[in-house]
Amino acid sequence: MVNSSQFPYFILTAYLDMGYLKYFYFVIVLLLYVVIVFANALLIVTICMKRSLHEPMYVFLCSLLVNELYGSAGLFPFLLLQITSDTHTMSTSMCFLQIYCLYTYAHVEFCNLAVMSYDRYLAICCPLHYKARMTSNKVALLIAVIWLYSFIKFLITLCLNLRLTLCGNVIDRLYCHNYYVVKLACSDTTVNNIYGLFGTFLTVLVPLIPILFSYTKILRVCLVSSKETRQKAISTCTPHLASLLNFTFGCCFEILQSRFNMTSFPRLLRIFVSLYFLTIQPLFNPVIYGLRLSTIRQMCRNVLVCKKSITGTKSEQSPVMNIF
């Protein structure tokens, strides 16, 4: 038995023997990663460039999109490397770094969606007091708390894992997973399990309270309001609800697969379920917000055609300049 920090690498056994098909899968995953980076970066640039989008709703959305890039960076480069490799191993330090990155990504995502639900509650239920309650300082404070709380919370988890004595280094996953690392421990994991349960309770309960509170209030307002108010509320809440449900279901599938024996299910299905919330959510958010919110759609068009318009304007002005 050796301490976890002394293991040179972990072996990931969930990768299939794909032969020459690995290059096909490499291209598919690479294209998916490029689309995710482009779509999220486009919306981030659009929100940052346009002053009309410097509102709390879009600032929180920008934080959400930055988190998608952060989580994708923790998964896709390594995934691409493993697909083309014949030996599916990961150094111990990189394994714990990936665990930290993916877990903080998931926590920031859930907390960010919770804060966005609170923002929608204020905008719909307290429109006259919205600007007074959701000031720029409060927005910055909420975003800072979301990120710092997530990083500190899982830094403690990481430190507890590093002190474990492990009996093996084989993980039946496509990426490093905290639960599977703890299962390899030969030493006492009581502290890890207690903090894990407490951390899971906080991870779920802290964001869930504002989400349930906000949508309960929004539903009450919709039931007693005019048809126009209901349509406006539905229009602004639909992207957020869709993103929240998609992420929640993806996380639930992953937790169920980790905690229960699912060997009776097809291997490809288990692989898809394990990657769902890490690959679909970063693609889903820019698509659902970009398509649903007309303001963002129009601004994205403006950003994309900006360079072309400037070039066209210069070419049109040059003959006039020559005349004078």
Give residues with Cβ within 8 angstroms of 217, minimum separation 6. 121, 125
Q: Structure tokens of 136? A: 């720029």
Separation in Å, CA 214 to CA 54, 88, 131, 207, 263: 22, 45, 17, 11, 39
| b/e per residue 262-281 (b: at least 16 CB within 10 A) | beeeeeeebbebbbbbbbbb
Q: Which helix H or strand E contains 256, and what residues bound it?
A: helix 227-259
Give residues with Cβ within 8 angstroms of 61, minimum separation 6. 43, 47, 116, 289
pLDDT band at 102 (very low <50, low <70, confident <90, very high): very high
Tell me the pTM.
0.86
Amino acid letter, residue 86 = D
216 alpha carbon, distance to own chain's centre: 25
Q: Per-residue pLDDT tens for 201-226?
A: 888 888 889 999 999 988 888 888 77
Strands 165-166 and 2-3: antiparallel
Q: Which domains does the chain possess?
A: 11-312 (1.20.1070.10)
Q: How far apart are CA 54 and CA 44, in angstroms?
A: 11
pLDDT of 98 reads 93
pLDDT average, residue stretch 98-112: 94
pLDDT of 224 reads 82
Q: Structure tokens of 46? A: 């659009």
Assess whether pLDDT exceeds 50 at residue 316: no
Helix (H), strand (E), coil (C) string for 59-101? HHHHHHHHHHHHHHHHHHHHHHHHHHCCCCEEEHHHHHHHHHH
Could you give phi then psi for residue 263, rounded to 5 degrees? Answer: -65, -20
Q: How far apart are CA 219 and CA 279, in angstroms?
A: 31
Q: Per-residue pLDDT tens for 151-209?
A: 999 999 889 888 888 888 888 888 998 888 888 888 888 888 888 888 888 888 888 89
Burial of residue 13 (number of CB atoms within 10 Å: 0-12, 13-18, 19+): exposed
Q: Structure tokens of 55? A: 């509102």
- Candidates 221, 170, 165; CA nearest to 189 is 165
- Which conformational region is residue 148 in: left (phi greater than 0), alpha (psi within -120 to 50 degrees), or beta? alpha
Lowest mean pLDDT among 64-68, 151-155, 252-256, 289-293: 289-293
Assess whether pLDDT exceeds 70 at residue 312: no
pLDDT of 199 reads 81
Separation in Å, CA 114 to CA 117, 145, 176, 265: 5, 13, 27, 33
Helix (H), strand (E), coil (C) string for 20-70? CHHHHHHHHHHHHHHHHHHHHHHHHHHHHHCHHHCCHHHHHHHHHHHHHHH
Q: What three-state secondary structure class fits 12? A: strand
pLDDT of 4 reads 52
Lowest mean pLDDT among 17-21, 129-133, 213-217, 274-278: 17-21
pLDDT band at 114 (very low <50, low <70, confident <90, very high): very high
pLDDT of 113 reads 94
Could you give phi then psi for residue 3, rounded to 5 degrees? Answer: -65, 150
pLDDT of 308 reads 52
- Candidates 6, 8, 64, 13; CA nearest to 177 is 13
Assess whether pLDDT exceeds 70 at residue 248: yes
Radius of gyration of the chain (CA): 23
Q: Which helix H or strand E contains 2, and what residues bound it?
A: strand 2-3
pLDDT of 304 reads 65
